[in-house]
Chains A and B, each alone.
Chain A
């Protein structure tokens, strides 16, 4: 028997580096992203501030229209600080903003801009948060299922649908959903019920060949499990059909105000679902393609050779490496989501940041517009930092570099 001395001397080179300052590297990467994002905020703030310079004519007139009193015009001009030179105005405004004072709105009723923003922010956050959660909940299982059937009819159907969904503009999607969910709810109920039944039947059909391959003793148990699953799905479909909630065309019931929390959820479901559908389509495409690539890797083959079942392969072996691209895309989608939330709030007439912006733009209330843009960019920066750190934490390969 040859000497099998432990290969102690073979310390892989990467090992030695690992000890030194992993935390340093992590922080450094974070800092770099932070600088990037600060650059964004800087340019955004300058950009919006400079916009005021491009207003043709007297800004005060632009805001109030031609029929206001001279006193009102003066008030607006004072608020905008038009008597001071430009750099000083910017410095003042930025200084105030950093302390949380975004000025006052220019149009009556005159309110604190930061107050308006704070009252509107939770609405937008709730919709965006729900949208992301729903999108992930829809996209991840579908992508897993689709990738495991890569090329098959199910995969083709879902992929084609996702491709189509991406081409639908947000406001149109919102209107389509309103048409079906609010104006023709019976159609939707029936569709959901029929879909549920179809899925249940499909599950049973796929069970049968599996059951046949079982040992005679196990067949009953296996069939029973299959039937239980199918009945559960059909049961849920039936339940939905019978107690389908009533979705409002517009309006928002705040979580804090609502006696019945479900009212809040009902008013938020359609807007969030609109956003979620399109985000889900994008997540699905990215994740599915990544999974298909990953599933062709050698380590998946090796895991199959070890006899690991399909579910394990999909969830444990393939999902982890593929999830990194998903996180990247999710990060990018935040920017898109914020923009999309604006539209959706307008269509559903929800009191969020988006509709605040739309109304302010229509009314030429520049202070509110500036404050809104700044607030949104802060939100954007925070979200991106979070996603970026998450990304760095998850990938062991990046962690060490």
Chain B
């Protein structure tokens, strides 16, 4: 997980591009966007074409659409607009809302096999039908599985991050502020533990605690503690040296007050932006565990176990793997995108 502490590099289409005036100006950009969207739709839905061609067209369409939208939006707004960031944020919002309001949505059946006895099995995805992402071997609707699975992923991810942030953050705050002996020990401990493969730990933990959402959340939370310790400690140390803290001390404020009033508010922002990226990692970890069968089990759907279940048939029915897989990938990508962008905004510039 320690690679997360590398400098965030936002997708290169932003800062490093040599600005070139776009041919055709606004109208050209609009035309590009529309044409690309058409290509994207054709690529996704046009079944008569061979798979390879469709993929290529869809990919070109996606890229062109984002490009065109960015140029168009920047032109209209008068300043550079990061369309990728907004799209990513939009996706996350959509996911969150669907997960929260899943029960109210007109979805197929996600987990109860007895209710799907009359449903067609192994249906291919058809965006306009009642099974937009298709069904599996037992007639369960994939889209419903994905949405309920999103619930699990989000709950586990956010829960684990909460544990990590509060526990790790508290330790980091104290270690960074008070230094002295405690700090060295904490530093060595968290630094050494961070790069050790977390998955191995997780597996060991899961061996002992039976797989349930609660146990997995706790385990993932524990794994993320060293990352937060390191982050908060580094930020606290930098902040503690800055003038406004010294000024507070001069005013004879006690330590606790300084910690709570001066340092904590400034540490919160980097923690929040960092957390997006950590949530992405944790979601991947949970998905991996459930893929291996070591986390939440069927019939409760999670992205991981949906994909695992689809393994046996996905030669003929790729949608079983690629439906949940695409959602997983897009979510992780969106989280990384949003997190990186926020880190650029809020990371203390004292680097």
| Residues of chain A whose beta carbon lies under 8 Å from any beta carbon of chain B | 36-37, 39-40, 43-44, 47-48, 51-52, 54-56, 150-152, 155-156, 159-160, 163-164, 166-172, 175-176, 179, 183-184, 187, 190-191, 282, 285-286, 289, 292, 329, 332-333, 335-336, 338-340, 342-343, 346, 357-358, 360-362, 364, 366, 369-370, 372-373, 376-377, 380, 384
Contacts and interface: CB of A to CB of B under 8 A. Distances in A.
Contacts of A156: 12-13, 17
Q: Which of B16, B203, B318 is packed against the most chain A CB atoms within 10 Å?
A: B203
28 contacts: A36-B191, A43-B193, A44-B196, A51-B205, A56-B210, A151-B12, A152-B18, A155-B12, A160-B13, A163-B12, A164-B333, A167-B333, A171-B307, A179-B318, A179-B321, A184-B51, A333-B3, A335-B196, A339-B199, A346-B292, A357-B200, A361-B204, A361-B207, A362-B293, A373-B200, A373-B201, A373-B204, A380-B196
B9 interface: yes
Given A43-B189, A55-B208, A361-B204, A336 B3 contact: yes
Interface stretch (B112-120, B235-243, B246-254, B280-288): B280-288
A187 B51 contact: yes
Contacts of B193: 40, 43
Interface string B1-41: 01100110101110011100000000000000000000000
Contact of B52 (A167, A191, A282, A380): A191
Interface in B303-340: 304, 307, 311, 314-315, 318, 321-322, 325, 328-329, 332-333, 336
Contacts of A164: 333
A36 B16 CA distance: 38
A155 B9 CA distance: 14
Given A168-B329, A346-B292, A289 B204 contact: no
B191 to A, nearest CB: 7
A376 B17 CA distance: 43
Nearest 3 Cβ contacts at the A-B interface: A339-B197, A339-B199, A167-B333
Contacts of A47: 201, 204
B204 to A, nearest CB: 5
Interface string B169-209: 00000000000000000001101110111111101111111
Contacts of B332: 167-169
A150 B16 CA distance: 8
B124 to A, nearest CB: 15
A52 B207 CA distance: 9
Contact of A176 (B206, B210, B325): B325
Contacts, number: 155
Contacts of A362: 293-294
Nearest to B18: A151
Interface in B69-123: none
A175 B11 contact: no
A343 B210 CA distance: 20
A187 B54 CA distance: 12
B148 interface: no
B291 interface: yes
A39 B189 CA distance: 8
Nearest to B324: A172
A230 B195 CA distance: 43
Contacts of A377: 196
Contacts of A329: 3, 6
Contacts of B294: 358, 361-362
Contacts of B198: 339
Contacts of B307: 171-172, 175
Contact of A342 (B18, B199, B328): B199
A183 B287 CA distance: 24
Given A36-B191, A43-B189, A172-B307, A376 B200 contact: yes
A176 B208 CA distance: 32
A361 B204 CA distance: 7
Nearest to A54: B208
B15 to A, nearest CB: 10
Given A175-B314, A285-B9, A361-B207, A332 B3 contact: yes
A343 B13 contact: no
A292 B7 CA distance: 14
Contacts of A167: 280, 329, 332-333, 336
Q: Which of B192, B206, B294 is packed against the most chain A CB atoms within 10 Å?
A: B192
Given A168-B332, A362-B294, 8 more contacts: A156-B13, A160-B12, A171-B287, A171-B292, A175-B314, A179-B321, A190-B52, A358-B292
A52 B208 CA distance: 7
Given A358-B203, A362-B294, A36 B11 contact: no
Given A285-B9, A376-B200, A169 B328 contact: yes
A170 B288 contact: yes
B196 A40 contact: yes
Nearest to A39: B192
A176 B328 CA distance: 13
Contacts of B209: 54
Contacts of B9: 163, 285, 289
A169 B197 contact: no
